[in-house]
Amino acid sequence: MPDHGAAIRVERHVEPSGPAFDLAILDFTVGTIASALTAFGNLNSAILFAATARACGPFGTNGERRQPVSINALAASLGRPFETVRRHANALVEDGLIARSPDGLYVALDSVVEPRVAALVDCCHDRMVALVDQAQHLGDTLPGPHPGIAYDPRVGIGLALDLLLAALECHGQREETPLRLALLLTLERAALRAALDASPSQVIRTSDVARMLDLPYATASRNIDALVACGLVGRDGGHLAPVADDAAVAARMALAGRARVLIARLAQAGFPVTAPTTALIRPRPSLAMAG
């Protein structure tokens, strides 16, 4: 007979947290930013495309689409000047990557298969897969997949774009220029990896950061000089080190919280949390960035 007095054991998932999870998020963020720069050649344009795609589809449950979004709304959501958003929107419309209607901007279904767009959204999705995979390897017990729901990669792409935009939003209070913020996050990623690898003496140079983002050295150098001048990065000879101030800690904590919410939503959408890499869209690359 069953022992009705015995305690009932309830399996609870352990939410990922800590420096190793922060590093996994930085791997995702820096990797997707590098892909965005390669695909679009301009980070502002890539961010605007991602924001437009999330505002009006097509990356959602059953390919759901919402109403077109105005430039005013996009500028407000991104915290960017209207004229900057308008200029980049016009360029994306001319390139056929987003479309314009009397009601606003939207991402046409045809543009999703355009090589640059496909490369970016596939990379975002597969790096989200890598983030969940790394969380699993950290020993965290993530929420199980929702029973009876077949996973649709379009949902995963949408949530991955949400995480990219969340990273830029959470850290955007520290540096509003997207490219400089990308360089700062790349430096933070390199510094955190060195700390977790117990190699704090590792020298991080401008050439290393330029290589990670595939940027011209002169572009990286000029923008890193600006980060040093405003006190976000320290320089000792050729060695660069991000400044770990209260704003950096708060942004990292806020982003970790957003990432946990998005991973839970991914599980609810039927994502194979216990075998993440089976959801990869492209043949498995080296998902953790070198360096």
Q: Is 136 a residue whose pLDDT tops 60?
A: yes
Please tell me the least confidently modeled range out of 5-14, 38-47, 181-190: 5-14
Of 59-68, 110-119, 217-226, 275-284, give the lowest mean pLDDT range: 59-68
CA distances from 7 to 2, 4, 12, 14, 75 (A): 12, 8, 15, 20, 54
pLDDT of residue 251 exceeding 50, the answer is yes
Question: What is the C-alpha to C-alpha distance for residues 27 and 66, in angstroms, rounded to an integer?
Answer: 31
**Locate tokens 């990308």: which residue?**
182
pLDDT at 83: 94
pLDDT at 142: 66
Q: What are 67's two structure tokens?
A: 């109403």
Give pLDDT, residue 227: 97
Asked if omega into 58 is within 30° of 0 (cis), the reply is yes
Q: Which of 5-14, 89-98, 180-189, 280-289 has the lowest mean pLDDT?
A: 5-14
- Residue bearing tokens 């005013």: 72
Read off the pLDDT of each residue in 28-41 and give the average, rounded to a whole number.
94
For residue 258, count other CB atoms closer than 10 A to its CB.
Answer: 18
Those residues whose C-beta lies under 8 Å from the C-beta of residue 177, and which sit 6 or more positions away, are 223, 226
Looking at residue 1, its pLDDT comes to 43
Decide which of 64 and 134 is more confident.
134
57-113 pLDDT tens trace: 778 665 555 688 999 999 999 988 999 999 999 999 999 899 998 889 998 878 888
Block residue for tokens 């360029």: 91
**pLDDT for 5:** 43
User: pLDDT over 90 for what percent of the chain?
Assistant: 63
pLDDT average, residue stretch 276-290: 70
Q: Given a cut of 70, is residue 10 above it in pLDDT?
A: no
